[in-house]
Amino acid sequence: MPFIAAAAGLAVLSVAVRRANRVALIISTVLLGAQLLGVVGSAWQLLDGVHGSKADELNRLGIDPELGVVLNLVYSAVASAVFVWILARWRSAGRLGAADAAGPDGGSVPGTG
């Protein structure tokens, strides 16, 4: 059931992002930034070894636990790179930290144009 709720929420978010909804874009950017924690966690898990329930779960699925963590690390690293790219675009547009990030036309969001 939690996976269905997450899938439904992400479907709604993806439609809103496609429509360039400002709130959805901000939520997506925050979620991309959270992947920095995924990079740290995955790297730590690779250094320490994949143990316990996570290793058992991946083995039951027929996936080498280390490969699963490496794939998660790659995914998180790509998402983190996109987050950094968005921040760089916002900063170069002079929008990072601005009081009104909507722009002069009232609807433009940095990084989408």
Q: List, for residues 39-50, the tens digit of each pLDDT value.
A: 999 999 999 988
Would 72 be classed as within a structural domain? yes
**Beta carbons within 8 Å of 70's beta carbon, 6+ residues apart:** 42, 46
Would 68 be classed as within a structural domain? yes
Structural domain of 39: 28-92
Would 63 be classed as within a structural domain? yes
Question: Tokens 């924690």 belong to which residue?
Answer: 37
| pLDDT reported for residue 104 | 45
| pLDDT reported for residue 65 | 93
Residue type, 63: I
Would 10 be classed as within a structural domain? no
Average pLDDT over every residue of 20-32: 94
Average pLDDT over every residue of 69-74: 95
Residues in the chain, how many?
113
Q: In total, how many domains does the chain have?
A: 1
Would 107 be classed as within a structural domain? no
Would 62 be classed as within a structural domain? yes
* pLDDT at residue 21 tops 90: yes
Q: pTM, whole model, 2 decimals?
A: 0.73
Would 6 be classed as within a structural domain? no
Q: How many CB atoms lie within 10 A of CB 27?
A: 14
